[in-house]
């Protein structure tokens, strides 16, 4: 084997190793599970998501269990629900405007005080943060299993460009190469 052939073989091996390393490099992406339906945690999730997008990151938010009711549209009503679906629908908040603080809610008084303070300080409401996320093209995935368990239907969710109703496997496929992964 000549020196040139040995060199070509070494270059080919290095290229193979480089390609393998590239496939394992995380993407400039943030993947977030939004499990909580609390106002403060939902705001934090959207602040992080929109901030990451503004920094050039791709963002996907996966709403599951108690995070799912945040995305219910307060103006939409759907029929055909079973008893459990009706009960969950009545007991859980209907939309971003109805979620409560995780701490110091005080029968709704704490939530009202926080919303008032946010307005005074020109801090965007949760509804405004959702609109901003849509404008910035933050991907929103809604867990189909959670919707099924709680009796929610696609037709009662907010209108959000590109929203997807998915299973956990779809989210995990998105998240597996993310640079940052969060659970809120």
127-167 residue pLDDT tens: 999 999 999 999 999 999 999 999 999 999 999 998 999 99
Average pLDDT over residues 47-54: 97
Of the candidates 98, 92, 85, 91, the residue with the CA atom closest to the CA atom of residue 42: 98
Q: Which helix (H) or strand (E) holds 22?
A: helix 3-23
In this predicted structure, the answer to whether residue 106 has a pLDDT above a threshold of 90 is no
User: What CATH number was assigned to the domain covering residues 27-183?
Assistant: 3.40.1260.10
98: its two tokens: 């109805």
As a whole-number percent, the residues of the chain with pLDDT over 90 amount to: 62
23-47 residue pLDDT tens: 667 789 999 999 999 999 999 999 9
Beta strand 178-183 with 27-34 is: parallel
Least confidently predicted of 36-50, 97-111, 112-126: 97-111
- Coil, strand or helix: which one is 27? strand
Q: How far apart are CA 146 and CA 92, in angstroms?
A: 13
Q: How far apart are CA 54 and CA 76, in angstroms?
A: 31
Of the candidates 69, 49, 32, 52, the residue with the CA atom closest to the CA atom of residue 131: 49
Whole-number average pLDDT of the chain: 90
Task: Mark 11-36 as b/e (b = at least 16 C-beta within 10 Å).
Answer: eeeeeeeeeeeeeeeeeebbbbbbbb
- Whole-model pTM: value is 0.85
* Size of the chain in residues: 184
């Amino acid at each position: 084997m000549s020196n040139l052939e040995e060199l070509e073989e070494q270059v080919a091996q290095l290229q193979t190793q480089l390609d393998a390393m590239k496939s394992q490099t995380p993407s400039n992406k943030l993947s977030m599970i939004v499990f909580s339906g609390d106002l403060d945690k939902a705001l934090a999730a959207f602040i992080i998501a929109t901030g990451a997008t503004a920094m050039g990151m791709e963002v996907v938010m996966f709403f599951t269990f108690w995070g799912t009711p945040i995305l219910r549209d307060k103006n939409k009503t759907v029929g055909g629900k079973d008893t459990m679906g009706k009960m969950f629908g009545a007991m859980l908040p209907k939309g971003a405007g109805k979620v409560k603080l995780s701490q110091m809610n005080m029968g709704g008084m704490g939530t009202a005080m926080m919303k008032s303070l946010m307005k005074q300080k020109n801090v965007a409401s949760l509804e405004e943060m959702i609109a901003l996320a849509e404008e910035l093209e933050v991907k929103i995935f809604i867990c189909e299993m959670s919707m099924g368990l709680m009796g929610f239907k696609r037709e009662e969710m907010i209108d959000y460009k590109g929203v997807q109703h998915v299973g956990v496997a779809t989210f995990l496929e998105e998240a597996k190469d993310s640079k940052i992964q969060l659970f809120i």
